[in-house]
Amino acid sequence: MPTRLPLVIRRCHACASARFRASGKFRVNANHKLLDAWLLVLCTGCGETAKLTLLERMNIRSFRPELLTRLHANDLGLTAELLQDPVVLRRNRVALDWDGAWRLDTGGTDHLDREVIDVSVRFTARIPVRPVRLIAEGCGLSRAEVERLIAEEKLVSAVRLRGKLAGDFSFTLKR
């Protein structure tokens, strides 16, 4: 589950930093019947403000009123939603840095002494994480040991465990 908003990876024009944090504030501009909207982000190095384009020249009639209300209220939930929107990320040519922005909730450690463990992993947000890392942290193993268990086919899953995942998955661990 997320613990904070992710950092935005983007080059700062004022300093050498490549990380921005979301301020949680929006800027909305109206030009006659057309609206523009941006999410404001702040450089972690110098504090310079940059804008991530959300909407460009959108007709006011095609705009959902509740979205406009949330933009004007600087809704933090909307900020989190928009930062995870692939269209917004692609339009602005940015990526997200989730390091230190999530935590693993295992629900206790009483299951670790069993011979066979069936585990379902549920994401509360689309956070790209390596399954090997999650399994290592959740089961109290080293990453090398998890890799060894995968190679010995004692750790099996319907999804590929190498690489990154951002969706729910399950696995079986045999000791």
- pLDDT for 122 equals 86
Q: Which residue has the tokens 């009123």?
A: 65
Q: How far is CA 26 from the centre of its chain?
A: 19
- pLDDT for 140 equals 81
| Contact call for residues 5 and 127 (beta carbons, < 8 A) | no
- pLDDT for 60 equals 85
- pLDDT for 111 equals 60
The DSSP string of 91-146 is HHT-EEE-TTSB----S-STTTTSSEEEEEE--SS---B-HHHHHHHHHT--HHHH
| Contact call for residues 50 and 20 (beta carbons, < 8 A) | yes
Q: Write out the two tokens for 98.
A: 């989730």
CA proximity to 59, closest of 39, 31, 92 = 31
Is pTM beyond 0.85 here?
no
pLDDT averaged per 10 residues, the chain (length 175): 88 92 93 92 94 92 88 92 91 90 70 74 83 84 89 88 86 82
- Residue 62 has φ and ψ, to the nearest 5°, of -90, 5
- pLDDT for 105 equals 74
